[in-house]
């Protein structure tokens, strides 16, 4: 997993609440067992008509260059627990999803794969969803838990789990974290067995 550094990138807004994982990536595209190749199916049924032609007014079909941030309505990632939803977002180039709340399993899958689920207040979310003109770049500073709208004085803060924040900054998932604590774990086990 790549370390999460500060990101300055354009964002695209999808002002829809209750987007579930089947809308993020429909179940019929879950045939690949690797992590790559899912980005082309991201929001597929919203991006394309049944005949395969692009729906031109869908925001993701008009996303700006260097677009690594997705701003979405509340309750993002509900539904089934498929990790493919996170893989599709990452494969499509997104590193951050901003919402006022996320489904718990989606949030954990995001953290474990290097996608930052930045949780903001409902008021901040509405401001970002309605911000004009777009495209507009955001600066995401995970260490400070701060979002800045570039070329403005506007900055807001987001919530993130402290343990997962540390993992993202180091580029570690839960397994990597445990492996890096091998010496401490062995020391604890040794002391524990000495007491018996």
DSSP string, the chain: ------EEEEEEEE--SS-BHHHHS-GGGTT--SSSS-GGGTTHHHHB-TTS-B-TTSGGGGPPTTEEEEEE-SSBTBSS--THHHHHHHHTT--EEEES-B-HHHHHHHHHHT-EEEE--HHHHHHHHH-SSSS-EEEEETTTTEEEETTSS-EEE-B--HHHHHHHHHT--HHHHHHHTHHHHHHHHHHHHHH-
In the prediction, which pLDDT does 133 show?
A: 63
pLDDT-derived band at 17 (thresholds 50, 70, 90) equals very high
Enclosing domain of residue 147: 7-171
Q: In percent, how much of the chain has pLDDT > 70? A: 96
Position 2 in a domain: no
Confirm whether 183 is domain-assigned: no
Is 132 within the bounds of a domain? Answer: yes
pLDDT number for residue 37: 87
Please tell me which residue, 92 or 181, carries the higher pLDDT value: 92
Record the tokens describing residue 166, joined without a space.
Answer: 């540390």
Over residues 100-112, mean pLDDT: 95
The alpha carbon of 22 is separated from its chain's Cα centroid by a whole number of angstroms, namely 16
Lowest mean pLDDT among 33-37, 103-107, 157-161: 33-37
Query: Edge to edge, what strands does the sheet with 67-72 contain?
Result: 116-119, 96-99, 67-72, 7-14, 137-141, 146-149, 155-157
Residue 58 lies in a domain: yes
Local confidence band at 56 (pLDDT 50, 70, 90 cut-offs): very high
Residue 87 in tokens: 């893989």
**192 inside domain:** no
CATH number, position 76: 3.20.19.10
The answer, as to whether pTM is greater than 0.75, is yes
- Whether 120 is covered by a domain: the verdict is yes
User: Rounded mean pLDDT of 84-106?
Assistant: 96
Query: Does residue 137 fall inside a structural domain?
Result: yes
55 is a domain residue = yes
pLDDT at 134 exceeding the cut of 70: no
Q: How far is CA 79 from the centre of its chain?
A: 16
Domains held by the chain: number: 1
């Amino acid at each position: 997993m790549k370390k999460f550094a500060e990101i300055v990138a354009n964002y695209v807004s999808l002002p829809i609440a209750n987007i579930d994982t089947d809308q993020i990536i429909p179940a019929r595209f879950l045939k690949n067992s690797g992590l790559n190749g899912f980005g082309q199916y991201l929001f597929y049924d919203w991006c394309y008509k049944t005949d395969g032609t692009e729906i031109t007014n869908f925001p993701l079909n008009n996303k700006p260059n260097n677009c690594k941030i997705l701003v979405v309505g509340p309750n993002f990632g509900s539904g089934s627990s498929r990790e493919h939803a996170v893989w599709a977002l990452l494969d499509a180039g997104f590193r951050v999803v901003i919402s006022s709340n996320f489904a718990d399993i989606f949030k954990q899958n995001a953290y474990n794969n290097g996608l930052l689920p930045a949780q903001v207040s409902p008021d901040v979310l509405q401001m970002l969803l309605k911000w004009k003109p777009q495209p507009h770049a955001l600066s995401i500073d995970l260490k400070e838990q701060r979002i800045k709208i570039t070329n403005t004085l506007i900055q807001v803060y987001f919530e993130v789990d402290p343990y997962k924040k540390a993992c993202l900054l180091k580029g570690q998932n839960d397994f990597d974290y445990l492996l890096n604590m091998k010496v401490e774990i062995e020391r604890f086990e040794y002391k524990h067995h000495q007491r018996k």
